[in-house]
């Protein structure tokens, strides 16, 4: 009798809601559907660097009826430390990619299912190509910026959280005659801001993909007041640039850039240009945590099953995606080749403008 295939599963990059549902689906499909052995790798690729490898064999009795409802990831994750230029305690950097490849082989894996965003999936693919690893990718990111998929795990829940925040800000804005500014995550994509802004009744949505002006935003808020409403709601994506093109945030020690703080700048601008009182709320990591929405559980479950099926079929270097109401798969290279950003000519932008929401000037975005 042939020995059962051994597959690894890990979560890499920032956490989000729905990861446990995906891990659960991988375990169920692999163990019950194919008789595979499944090894959960702790803290992403860092677990494969450790000696011995930080991993455990997963069994179905670990996945009770509650686990798909849990936020976070039971395997842990890591979103710092590029293994090809890993920061060492003495301040130097070291290529530790071969340690990860060795960890894969130490576990005797036949395949690896990596659950990550575009950055994590890019690193995993480089490792797979270098070491001859059999890899299948599952997209997860609240930013929803992985290409080729309509939804990534975690995005829907993040939109739900941001929409609920607008729902809660509206009564207090009305009670105090204020303009409430909500800053949301999304990195370089405005998907959360756009979707939550429409669903939450925002008067203005500011995104990195579409330039906006002080005059345009001021005009919108004054117009709201002239029509008898004593409050306004503005949602701002963390990477939205100011009218002069400035991106607000801080430069990290590793040379990267962390967005944050644009909401405060927008709130101050509103007070200066309109005379209205304004307050800022920054949701931050609240958007990542908590129980996943039913739709995120659905996408995660479908992705997990589809990923194991690909392993069983011997199809690797693939990315499972959600497209046209189905779980499909695309070349992994295509999914990470470019970031999926808001289309200034897309349906949701058209919806926002059709509702009278100020979003800036889509024609100035450079989109065809």
**Phi/psi at 129 (5° precision):** -70, -40
- Output the CA angle 181-187-189, nearest 5 degrees: 85
Work out the angle between the directed axes of helices 118-131 and 97-106 (0-180°, nearest 10). 70
Count of Cβ atoms closer than 10 Å to residue 283 Cβ:
21
Active site annotation includes 143: yes
Give the residue from 48, 51, 116, 53 showing the smallest Cα distance to 79: 116
> Which of 12, 15, 47, 40 is closest to 26 using CA atoms?
40
Q: Which residues contact 321 (CB under 8 A, 6 or more apart)?
A: 139, 148, 149, 150, 327, 328, 329, 330, 335
- Residue in 15, 110, 118, 143 annotated catalytic: 143
Please list the residues that pair with 321 across neighbouring strands: 328
How many Cβ atoms from other residues are within 10 Å of residue 214's Cβ? 15
Residues annotated as catalytic are 143
């Amino acid at each position: 009798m042939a020995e059962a295939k051994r597959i690894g599963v890990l979560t890499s990059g920032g956490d989000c809601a729905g990861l446990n549902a995906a891990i659960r689906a991988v375990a169920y499909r692999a163990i019950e559907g194919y008789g595979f052995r499944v090894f959960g790798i702790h803290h992403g690729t860092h677990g494969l660097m450790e000696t011995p490898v930080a991993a455990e064999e997963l069994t179905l009795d670990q996945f009770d009826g509650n686990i798909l409802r849990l936020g976070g990831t039971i395997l842990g994750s890591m979103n710092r430390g590029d293994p090809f230029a890993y920061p060492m305690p003495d301040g130097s950097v070291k290529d530790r990619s071969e340690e990860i490849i060795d960890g894969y082989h130490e576990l005797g894996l036949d395949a690896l299912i990596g659950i990550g965003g575009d950055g994590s999936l890019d690193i995993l693919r480089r490792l797979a190509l270098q070491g001859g690893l059999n890899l299948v990718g599952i997209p997860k990111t609240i930013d929803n910026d992985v290409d080729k998929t309509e939804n990534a795990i975690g995005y829907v829940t993040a939109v739900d959280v941001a929409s609920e925040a607008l729902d809660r800000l509206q009564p207090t804005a009305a009670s105090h005659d204020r303009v409430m500014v909500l800053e949301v995550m999304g990195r370089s994509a405005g998907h959360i801001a756009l979707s939550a802004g429409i669903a939450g009744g925002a008067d203005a949505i500011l995104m990195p993909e579409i330039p906006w002006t002080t005059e345009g935003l001021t005009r919108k808020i004054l117009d709201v007041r002239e029509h008898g409403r004593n409050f306004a709601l503005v949602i701002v994506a963390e990477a939205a640039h100011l009218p002069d093109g400035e991106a607000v945030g801080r430069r990290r020690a590793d040379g990267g850039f962390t967005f944050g703080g644009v909401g405060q700048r927008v709130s101050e601008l509103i007070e200066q240009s309109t005379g209205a009182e304004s307050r800022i709320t920054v949701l931050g990591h609240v958007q990542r945590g908590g129980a996943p929405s039913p739709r995120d559980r659905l996408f995660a479950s479908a992705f997990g099953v589809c990923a194991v099926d690909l392993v069983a079929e011997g199809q690797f270097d693939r990315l499972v995606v959600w497209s046209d109401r189905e779980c499909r798969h695309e070349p992994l290279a295509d999914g990470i080749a470019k970031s999926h950003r808001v289309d200034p000519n897309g349906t949701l932008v058209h919806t926002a403008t059709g509702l009278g929401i100020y979003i800036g000037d889509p024609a100035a975005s450079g989109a065809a």
